[in-house]
Amino acid sequence: MACSSSTSLPLHICHGNKLTMIINRSHAVLHSIAISFLIYYRAFFLFHQPTPIIIPWLLLFISELLLSFIWFLGRAYIWRPVYRTVFPERLPNDDKLPAIDVFICTTGPDKEPTIGVMNTLLSAMALDYPPDKLHVYLSDDGGYAITLHAMRESWSFARWWLPFCRRFGIKTRCPEAYFSRTENHDSDSKNPDNFMVEREKIKEQYVLFKERVRRAGQESKFKDKGVYTATDHPSCIEVMEENSKEGLLEDQTIEMPLLVYVSREKSTSQFHHFKAGAVNVLLRVSAMLSNSPYILMLDCDMYCSDPTSARQAMCFHFDPEMSPSLAFVQFPQAFRDISENDIYDSEVRSAYTILWPGLDGLKGPVLSGTNFYIKREALCCHSIKKDIDLRELKDSFGPSNEFIKSLRQDYKKPNLNDNGEASNMLLEEAKVLASCSYEDHTKWGKEVGFLYDSVAEDFLTGFVMQCKGWISSYVAPSSSSRPQFLGTSTTNLNDLLTQGTRWGSGLVDVALSRFSPLFYGSSRTSFLHSMGYAELSLFPLLYCLPLWCFATIPPLYLLNGIPLYPEVSDPYFSIFLFIFLSSLSKHLHEVVVTGRPISKWINEQRIWMIKPVTCHLYGSLDAILKKFDLRKASFLTTNKVADNEQIKLYRGGKFDFRTSTIFVAPLVTVMLVNLASIVGGVYRIMFTGTDWRKMFGQVLLSFYIIVMNYVVIEGMVLRKDKGRIPLYVNVLSIVFSLIFLSLGSIIISN
């Protein structure tokens, strides 16, 4: 697949790896045959078992069926993975490039440090793109005065930073990342002496900028612009403007992107739909002020590492064959705070190296919340035709005539450089569009903009978009190039499991909603593509049930000397062993071919076992309770404040167990149950005459669980630092495990 430019050279190419596809498909066939034998064994012998073990046998059978089903859905990713290469240097001249609006969302400085947010904002302003076609919007959902003040300071500093980046060809355009470099200054300058003088001058300005922001943060009391509290305040919109000529030569002008602060109105009496609601406000406000046909969405900690990302995205949007149906171009998330021994799998390797390329070979990857260039038309369902009834339009888009005008193909972009009545009118209209009652009785969040049916609004919106016929593309950086975007990830257990609970809840929300990929997608998109989405939406639910079962039932029956698997001499035992080793070896192969060490495989296996018994369980329960209106929707912002002690533990490869008891207690309980069971089971084999061949499968399973999760035992017994598991959690877990084993043994014996 390729796109031709004016020079008849392709703007992008798409290629696959035939060897990888052959390996993937061959493994899928062999694994499927083995699963078929397993299902036959369980089904045929189910009612030939003694009465006491029919229930555990049935539970294991159901768990194996669920894991087989989720595995089957996941084969969509490996069927036809593709990889893309772009050639942004072949794009037409700058005057032919379309305008881009950049959306950055933040909730507040407590969990999202203001300096970090401003660095993301500055990196977006410094993109290698025509400044007059770049418009940056920051949504401050809490309406914090410090954020507004920091934006004004950022605008002033940008008048130093942007010319410096352009003049010397700076590639790292996030100031904090750039000035933290010790050796390579990342410059194309041919005059190093002049460059170093300028660099020191800009660094001095950056230090002053940070100091002003920090001082303002200490003095801020939520009094600016009438903003009162984070949950109850009026809308506030401010376009940043030049108010000083400091540092400029006479008659010197600097081309600057449009920079706009947006704080939507909030009221404690209304539900605001979290990030999806904030993005929909930005869609409406930006339509009044810039109305660019393309939008870049960024998390507030995800800065632009490669300034050419916009041009890379345009390589697809300029493709005459792809562009009419192309909704968005997705880039991967890369993280600057990941250690070599990534104990929490914070890199999320499988998503960005296996799942997304696999979906890209079907109809396109998932909309991933950040790092994507999306077509405004795909979100707002425009451009509208002139003969559509105005009342019908207002029922969909709300009462604003000006906003409805912006949806028309012949709409003329507003001129904000005019400080007269027209400019003031646009700002006033934008405030109306940011009011908390504007969406009442409209289709916002239902059919227009980001959808509100799930806290995983990005996943749901992208899926529905693709069911309507849109496609997407995925562009990962080559091994020799820099990532397009860099951010921060979770580097402690508490943040990992809190984030996992929110993600799990949002994904299961979709699985249980009217947009369930199993049913909604099967008739609207390709079978394989709907399989991939179904796997993503169901995996938190369908993994937590089987893994809880495997972590408790086989060990319980091992302790009581009752086999649940075929004995070693039985041919069917080789089927179970093959499936177990096949799954492990396929995962190991994926880790190795993506350039990671074996320790990465071990860490991913461990996290794969930890999440289902903790955050996936709670996330699934949360989604089910919301489905039956037994719980209100909530959104827990991922903490982005670095803690030095937590970072030290993470860098040292040690788990930080300072998290909620509801997360740690299940882990310790499972470990105690398996430790007790393997000790009791081995004792029975050695001293009571129990046939080891019948119990070997259960011994192997418990041994594997214990070995892979040795860090829990380490946290319980061996460690003395602050990140160890607290004594009261150990005691509580001992009580839980004793109750479970005692009651289970009583039930089995009766």
Asked if residue 418 belongs to a known ligand binding site, the reply is: no
pLDDT digits (tens, 9 = 90+) for 397-432: 999 988 988 887 777 766 766 666 667 888 899 999
Asked whether the predicted pLDDT for residue 350 surpasses 80, the reply is yes
Q: What's the average model confidence in pLDDT over 74-102?
A: 95
Asked if residue 112 belongs to a known ligand binding site, the reply is: yes
Query: Would you call 126 helix, strand, or coil by DSSP?
Result: coil
pLDDT for the residue 117:
97
Asked if residue 394 belongs to a known ligand binding site, the reply is: no
Q: What's the average model confidence in pLDDT over 57-62?
A: 95
Asked if residue 111 belongs to a known ligand binding site, the reply is: yes
CA–CA dist 651, 320 (Å, integer): 48
Residue 171 phi/psi, 5° resolution? -95, -35
- Residue 630 forms part of a structural domain: no
How large is the C-alpha radius of gyration of the chain?
28
Q: What's the average model confidence in pLDDT over 52-59?
A: 88
pLDDT digits (tens, 9 = 90+) for 278-295: 999 999 999 999 999 999
Asked whether the predicted pLDDT for residue 224 surpasses 60, the reply is no
pLDDT digits (tens, 9 = 90+) for 117-174: 999 999 999 999 999 999 999 999 989 999 999 999 999 999 999 999 999 999 999 9
Q: What's the average model confidence in pLDDT over 367-384?
A: 86
Q: Which of 94-103, 217-226, 236-245, 258-267 has the lowest mean pLDDT?
A: 217-226
At 262, list the tokens: 């947006």
CA–CA dist 39, 48 (Å, integer): 15
pLDDT for the residue 4:
44
- Residue 319 forms part of a structural domain: no
Asked if residue 389 belongs to a known ligand binding site, the reply is: no
DSSP state of 233: B
Q: What is the count of structural domains for the chain?
A: 1
Asked whether the predicted pLDDT for residue 382 surpasses 70, the reply is no
At 190, list the tokens: 């041919």
CA–CA dist 465, 461 (Å, integer): 6
Burial of 629: CB neighbours in 10 Å, binned 0-12, 13-18, 19+: exposed
- Residue 359 forms part of a structural domain: no
> Annotated catalytic sites, by residue?
141, 458
pLDDT for the residue 719:
92
Per-chain mean pLDDT for the chain = 90
CA–CA dist 539, 74 (Å, integer): 10
pLDDT for the residue 101:
98
Q: What's the average model confidence in pLDDT over 653-675?
A: 96
- Residue 548 forms part of a structural domain: no
Asked whether the predicted pLDDT for residue 195 surpasses 60, the reply is yes
CA–CA dist 750, 741 (Å, integer): 14
User: Residue 221 half-sphere exposure, CB side, CA atoms within 13 Å?
Assistant: 1
CA–CA dist 501, 613 (Å, integer): 11
Q: What's the average model confidence in pLDDT over 539-554?
A: 96
pLDDT digits (tens, 9 = 90+) for 683-735: 999 988 888 999 999 999 999 999 999 999 999 999 999 999 999 999 999 99
- Residue 135 forms part of a structural domain: yes
- Residue 680 forms part of a structural domain: no
CA–CA dist 462, 719 (Å, integer): 45
pLDDT for the residue 3:
45
Query: Per the omega criterion (within 30 degrees of 0), is the bond before 339 cis?
Result: no
At 496, list the tokens: 């990992």
Residue 8 phi/psi, 5° resolution? 65, 15
Asked whether the predicted pLDDT for residue 538 surpasses 90, the reply is yes
What angle (nearest 5°) sits at the alpha carbon of residue 91, between those of residues 85 and 93?
A: 165
- Residue 519 forms part of a structural domain: no
Q: Which of 48-62, 140-154, 456-470, 550-564 has the lowest mean pLDDT?
A: 48-62
Asked whether the predicted pLDDT for residue 1 surpasses 50, the reply is no
- Residue 219 forms part of a structural domain: yes
Domain that holds residue 219: 106-181+192-243+253-292+399-434
Q: Max Cα separation, the chain?
A: 96
Contacts with 591 (C-beta within 8 Å, 6 or more apart), sequence order: 349, 598, 600, 601, 604
